[in-house]
Amino acid sequence: MCILQCPLVKRYELIWSVVRRIPRGRVATYGQIAELAGLAGHARQVGYALHNLPEASGIPWHRVVNAQGEISPRSAGDSHELQRLLLEEEGVEFDLRGRMDLRRYQWKSTSRRVDKSTRR
């Protein structure tokens, strides 16, 4: 069993470090997070990492949305409803189709990628 030594866990930590930086009232796409974590083309890994967040992590998982500005549907549970509620509490508005305007709400990171020295 690997604890904090597996490459997958380290990859998740990279993703979580980027998600932590998304400011209140802003969102980022799965692909955007992957790119900023140095994992361009691995948007699904972002979803897996968010699904495996430690309980009470404080990481704002709800600020990550799909490239269409929608909350990605889940196969089970009602976390998509919670996600929308949390975003609305932060001032993010949805249209009648359940989309947000990414031109208005998408986070514009000032740094391009996570420092590779943290990837060891």
Quick: pLDDT tens for 56-102. Answer: 899 999 999 999 999 998 777 778 899 999 999 999 999 999 999 99
Structural domains of the chain, ranges and CATH numbers in brackets:
7-106 (1.10.10.10)
End-to-end CA distance of the chain: 19
| Confidence at 113, pLDDT banded by 50, 70, 90 | low
Within 8 A by CB and 6+ apart from 73, the residues are 80
Average pLDDT of the chain is: 88
Taking the model in full, what pTM does it have? 0.85
Q: What is the DSSP string of 37-56?
A: TT-TT-HHHHHHHHHTPPTT
Confidence (pLDDT) at 120: 39
Determine contact, residues 106/28, Cβ cutoff 8 Å.
Answer: yes
Q: Can you tell me whether residue 10 is helix, strand or coil?
A: helix
Confidence (pLDDT) at 118: 44
Helix ranges restricted to H, 1-120: 7-19, 30-36, 43-51, 79-89, 102-105
pLDDT at residue 16 is higher than 50: yes
